[in-house]
């Protein structure tokens, strides 16, 4: 489809595209919506700049793509005043750790993760705070046919508390008390997903292995799983499989948790960063025919 209403500028070969020609404060025409949706499917992460939108307009844009529901699993994040579906992702100057500062797909530790996340920049540090994206389909394509076939028979167990530490060692920026609290608070929050799955809209196969949340392959021990998980994480986050988005005030990013992993860089100590986030539910990844 040739775009009639928007202009698309890819950021890299595999993921990330900037879209211009749209004012998100206005209702989207059906044609513009279709062109944005197709760009979203093709690139996994899309970006708009210089948008001046209210929380209500952000929610209206999100609702064109799917159901918007309150994000109960980010209970430690404040709500934007008056909006139960809108969270403020805020990093205060003295916070020891930023939110999402490791490679992950949002809520991949749940049986039914969010299809997409939509982040709008409100307040930015003078430097840093970029977000990186890595394409799960590019990672799958980079593997040998033999490893692809093997992975298609496996499932991965993903655990929420893994973000706070591993094997008794707290993650960077997490205190021993914070790690112990997380283990207790998030006990039992985990899910098993096929290691390779099919994107429901593009049909493309993706490697659904979260570098931090993945604990093991189902039926394997942690010790047996780690070498392969580490190898796959290295492929997924290979620089050539990524793009890096530099935020400006008024930037809005929307990414597909079925197609990309992301990483919020923690390189602005002593500064404040505030974003408004909406999460969108939609059709989830489908098993491939080879899945166990």
List residues near Fe ion by CB under 5 A: 100, 106
> Using an 8 Å Cβ cutoff, are 195 and 209 in contact?
yes
CB of 67 to Fe ion, least distance (A): 19
- Gap between the Cα atoms of 276 and 53, Å rounded: 11
Residue 109 or 217 with smaller CB distance to Fe ion: 109
Q: Which of 194, 171, 220, 221 is nearest to 108 (CA)?
A: 194
CB of 105 to Fe ion, least distance (A): 8
Residue 151 or 212 with smaller CB distance to Fe ion: 212
Residue 100 or 211 with smaller CB distance to Fe ion: 100
Is residue 124 exposed (0-12), middle (13-18) or buried (19+ Cβ within 10 Å)? Answer: buried
CB of 289 to Fe ion, least distance (A): 30
CB of 3 to Fe ion, least distance (A): 28
Residue 35 or 106 with smaller CB distance to Fe ion: 106
Residue 23 or 88 with smaller CB distance to Fe ion: 88
Minimal CB distance residue for Fe ion: 100
Q: Which of 163, 157, 154 is nearest to 212 (CA)?
A: 163
Residue 42 bridge partners (DSSP): none
- Gap between the Cα atoms of 108 and 242, Å rounded: 19
> Using an 8 Å Cβ cutoff, are 121 and 250 in contact?
yes
CB of 64 to Fe ion, least distance (A): 21
Contacts with 65 (C-beta within 8 Å, 6 or more apart), sequence order: 37, 40, 115, 116, 254, 280, 282
Residue with token string 């505030």: 274
């Amino acid at each position: 489809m040739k775009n009639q209403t928007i202009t698309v500028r890819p950021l890299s070969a595999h993921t990330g595209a900037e879209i211009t020609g749209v004012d998100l404060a206005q209702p989207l025409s059906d044609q513009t919506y279709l062109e944005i949706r197709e760009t979203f499917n093709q690139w996994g992460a899309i970006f708009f700049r210089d948008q001046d939108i209210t929380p209500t307009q952000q929610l209206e844009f999100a609702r064109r793509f799917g159901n918007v529901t309150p994000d109960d699993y980010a209970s430690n994040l404040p709500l934007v005043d008056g909006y139960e579906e809108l969270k403020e992702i805020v990093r205060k100057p003295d916070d020891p750790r930023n939110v999402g500062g490791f490679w992950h797909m949002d809520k991949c530790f749940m049986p039914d993760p969010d299809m997409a996340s939509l982040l709008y920049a409100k307040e930015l540090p003078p430097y840093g705070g970029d977000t990186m994206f890595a394409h799960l389909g590019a990672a799958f394509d980079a593997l040998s046919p033999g490893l692809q076939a093997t992975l298609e028979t496996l499932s991965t167990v993903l655990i929420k508390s893994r973000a706070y530490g591993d094997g008794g060692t707290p993650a960077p920026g997490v205190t021993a008390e914070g790690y112990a609290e997380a283990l207790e608070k998030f006990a039992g929050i985990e899910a098993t997903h096929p290691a390779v799955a099919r994107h429901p809209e593009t049909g493309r196969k993706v490697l659904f292995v979260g570098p931090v949340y993945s604990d093991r392959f189902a039926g394997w021990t942690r010790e047996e799983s780690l070498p392969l998980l580490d190898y796959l994480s290295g492929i997924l986050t290979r620089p050539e499989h990524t793009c890096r988005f530099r935020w400006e005030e008024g930037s809005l990013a929307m990414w597909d948790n079925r197609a990309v992993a992301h990483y919020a860089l923690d390189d602005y100590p002593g500064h404040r960063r505030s974003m408004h986030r909406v999460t969108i539910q939609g059709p989830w990844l489908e098993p491939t025919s080879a899945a166990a």
